[in-house]
Amino acid sequence: MKSKVIQVTGLALTIAYAAFIIWIYATEPRTFKDVANSAEVAAGTYQINQEKFAAGHSLFLREQFRAARDEWQRADPAQGDARTQFYIAYSFYREGWGRVYYDQDLFKQGLEAANRAANLASTAPLTIDDPNLNMHTVAELKAELEQGVEQSWSDVNPLKVLRTRK
């Protein structure tokens, strides 16, 4: 009987350990802090640093996009918050947007962040109620970034200069 208890305990313990190993190889954390952050995300207890987020937001409104992104990355080191990732993507969009051409590198990075936000908000659609933004959902932002990355004949349309930044 005791042997059976040991068998069941051993199986449960080692399967949990194996799952942890698979998870750690899948998430590839770079520091022990990353391990803790990833564990919090997996457990659903992860919270971003609100002060850093607010600091990033004020920088964003002053059009200091790189500084804003820096603050947001510190606020969300595990890249596990959909709202922060949405704002990061938006900052790439605004910085990369040009009346004559779009910065492809920034738009691509923006698209990656938008995809992260979309994946994180896959269960509940994310809507950002911010009057300073012209796009309030990830889908809108993603479509805008994708259009900017794609090359088409409309790129040579001279009327393009009349477009406005969202």
Interface with another protein (CB under 8 A), residue total: 23
Pick from 84, 79, 77: nearest CA to 55: 84
Q: Among residues 29 and 77, whose Cβ is nearest to another protein?
A: 29
Closest distance to another protein from the beta carbon of 73 (Å): 16
DSSP per position, 62-99: TT-HHHHHHHHHHH-TT---HHHHHHHHHHHHHHH--S
CB-based contacts of 34-40 (< 8 A; 24+ apart in sequence) = 34/77, 34/78, 37/77, 37/78, 37/80, 38/78, 38/80, 40/78, 40/80
CB closer to another protein, 4 vs 129: 4
Shortest distance, position 38 Cβ to another protein, whole Å: 12
Question: Using CB under 8 A, which residues numbered 3 to 32 contact another protein?
Answer: 3-4, 6-11, 13-15, 17-18, 21, 24-25, 28-32
Find the shortest distance in angstroms from Cβ 160 to another protein.
43
The tokens for 102 are 């779009």
**Residues 30 to 59: which contact another protein by CB under 8 A?**
30-32, 34
Q: Which is nearer to another protein, 9 or 122 (CB)?
A: 9
Beta carbon of residue 76, minimum distance to another protein (angstroms, whole number): 19
Instruction: Decide if residue 61 touches another protein (CB under 8 A).
Output: no
One-letter identity of residue 129: D
Residue 128, classed as helix, strand or coil, is coil
DSSP string of 16-60, one letter each residue: HHHHHHHHHHHH--SSHHHHHHHHHHHHT-----HHHHHHHHHHH
Give the residue with the Cβ less far from another protein, 38 or 84: 38
- Nearest residue (CB) to another protein, 11 versus 143: 11
Q: What residue ranges bind another protein (CB under 8 A)? A: 2-4, 6-11, 13-15, 17-18, 21, 24-25, 28-32, 34
